[in-house]
Amino acid sequence: MERSEISKLGEFGLIDRISKRFEKNLSSTVLGIGDDAAVIDIGNEYLLMSTDMLIEGPHFNLSYVPLKHLGYKAVAVNVSDIAAMNGRPEQITISLGLSNRFSVEAVDELYEGIKAACKSFNVDLVGGDTTSSPAGLTIAINIIGRVAKDQIAYRTGAKVNDIICATGDLGAAYMGLQVLEREKEVFLSNPNMQPDLEKYEYIVGRQLKPEARMDIVYDLLESKIVPTSMIDISDGIASELLHISAQSGVGVKVFEDKLPIDGQTYETAVEMNLDPVTCALNGGEDYELLFTINPSEYEKLKNHPDIHFIGHIHSDASQNLLITKQGNVVALKAQGWTHF
Ligand code: ADP
Ligand code: MG
């Protein structure tokens, strides 16, 4: 048989291929593959279940990522997928692959960050698995959470005229990574040079210590708003907008001048000869929330300091549009992070 390269399918093509080979057999399986978390009917509520794996190399570089931060981030990115369903996180299990490069003290440091995240997101660590690994560090986390049945937010529910909302700011984690990579090069070429990161504190912090936006989930609950659709922004907002479009069967229209970009992100992008808007649209690891609301809910959210209204939904799923600052209409493209 001919050998096919995974890169030809890409990550999403591969997931699609896997998903086609499995059907749901249990009546309790409400939703399997295809959203930020699987949805399981447990009676009066839905149980949410998700998993995310971080691997040394593609996901993190320990020459500039402190283990404590890494532990925090590993938990936060999982909590983010529960937040994306409008749910509350509850328990996690953690599986570790460790090469002999890592000491007991290193594992302690990693778990210090994990503990801080458990405290901050109010989740319990309830198990895991530990194994040796030929090289590097692998952290795989499973998370479960819960959501009331009438409060769940899928990627599939965006409706014509809904307002598109994004939390926080975009592209900062990506710019933080660019700074860390640049400083690493400087450090490697001259170990006596200490990296000067003070100027980049915010964006480096966004890369090293992302927060899952559970605060937004609670704010929405308090405002009695259920988003019509929601996804967390892990691969860049352009890619996530296209997921909402494809899975809801609608088109998105977003305005470049409405994209929330922090000043430090903007300045650092310019300094590195990058386009700040491209970084905001495609830089990964923001772990903010992208959601849509019925226009009738706008009044309740319009004064929220950290929710930005970036566009709206229209009927044509083949027309995903970006309106530039000059008023030009261009096709929204995702150039986000690809694994293969
Ligand atoms: P996210 O970025 O929110 O973590 P992903 O893009 O990783 O989501 O995954 C999209 C969907 O595909 C999810 O429902 C996830 O559970 C599923 N998925 C990803 N990888 C696999 C796999 N190897 N086998 C089965 N399902 C998978
Ligand atoms: Mg997600």
Q: pLDDT per residue over 14-42, tens digit each?
A: 999 999 999 999 999 999 999 999 999 99
| Most informative mutation of 33, 82, 285, 287 for ligand 1 (most atoms within 8 A of CB) | 33
Q: What is the mean pLDDT of residues 51-75?
A: 95
Residues with CB under 5 A from ligand 2 (ion): 36, 81, 232
Q: What is the mean pLDDT of residues 43-54?
A: 97
Distance of CA 176 from the midpoint of ligand 1 (Å): 26
pLDDT class of 248 with cuts at 50, 70, 90: very high
Distance of CA 64 from the midpoint of ligand 2 (Å): 25
Identify the H or E element spanning 101.
none
pLDDT of residue 197: 83
Helical axes 67-83 vs 104-121, angle rounded to 10°: 30
Among residues 290, 288, 278, which one has the least CA distance to residue 332? Answer: 278
* Nearest alpha carbon, ligand 1 atom 5: 36
pLDDT of residue 95: 98
pLDDT of residue 164: 98
DSSP letter for each residue of 165-195: EEES-SSHHHHHHHHHHHHHHHHHH-TTSPP
Please tell me the distance from the alpha carbon of residue 157 to that of residue 244, in angstroms, as a whole number: 8
Spatial CB neighbours of 265, under 8 Å, sequence gap ≥ 6: 169, 170, 171, 172, 175, 203, 276, 279, 280
Residue linked to tokens 């970084």? 279
C-beta separation of 242 from 334 below 8 A: yes
Strands (E), the chain: 29-31, 38-41, 45-55, 88-98, 124-132, 137-148, 163-167, 229-233, 251-255, 288-293, 307-314, 321-323, 329-331
Ligand 1 closest atom vs CA 52:
4
pLDDT of residue 338: 61
Q: What is the mean pLDDT of residues 238-244?
A: 97
Q: What is the mean pLDDT of residues 276-284?
A: 95
CB atoms within 10 A of CB 133: 16
Confidence check: pLDDT of 75 > 70: yes
pLDDT class of 336 with cuts at 50, 70, 90: low
Q: How far is C-alpha 42 from the chain's CA centre?
A: 26
Q: How far is C-alpha 217 from the chain's CA centre?
A: 15
State pLDDT tens for residues 144-201: 999 999 999 999 999 999 999 999 999 999 999 999 999 888 777 777 776 778 899 9
* Nearest alpha carbon, ligand 1 atom 23: 15
* Nearest alpha carbon, ligand 1 atom 3: 36
* Nearest alpha carbon, ligand 1 atom 21: 15
Distance of CA 233 from the midpoint of ligand 2 (Å): 7
Task: Please state, for a pLDDT cut of 90, what percent of the chain lies above it.
Answer: 91
Ligand 1 closest atom vs CA 36:
3
Give the largest CA-CA distance in the chain: 62
pLDDT class of 12 with cuts at 50, 70, 90: confident
DSSP letter for each residue of 305-333: TTEEEEEEEES-TT--EEE-TTS-EEE--
Provide the b/e sequence for 296-310 (b: ≥16 CB within 10 Å). Answer: ebeeebeeeeebbbb
pLDDT of residue 2: 83
DSSP annotation of 138 reads: E
Please tell me the distance from the alpha carbon of residue 261 to that of residue 304, in angstroms, as a whole number: 17
Among residues 233, 225, 223, which one has the least CA distance to residue 254? Answer: 233
Distance of CA 37 from the midpoint of ligand 1 (Å): 8
pLDDT of residue 185: 82
Among residues 209, 219, 196, which one has the least CA distance to residue 86? Answer: 219
Task: Please state, for a pLDDT cut of 70, what percent of the chain lies above it.
Answer: 98
| Average pLDDT, rounded, for the chain | 95
Q: What is the mean pLDDT of residues 89-99?
A: 98
Spatial CB neighbours of 139, under 8 Å, sequence gap ≥ 6: 53, 54, 70, 71, 74, 94, 95, 96, 110
Pocket (CB within 6 angstroms of ligand 1): 15, 18, 33-36, 52, 81, 234
Please tell me the distance from the alpha carbon of residue 273 to that of residue 5, in angstroms, as a whole number: 34
pLDDT of residue 340: 60
What is this structure's pTM? 0.95
C-beta separation of 40 from 83 below 8 A: no
State pLDDT tens for residues 303-327: 999 999 999 999 999 999 999 999 9
pLDDT class of 222 with cuts at 50, 70, 90: very high
Between 83 and 64, name the one with better pLDDT.
83
C-beta separation of 226 from 86 below 8 A: yes
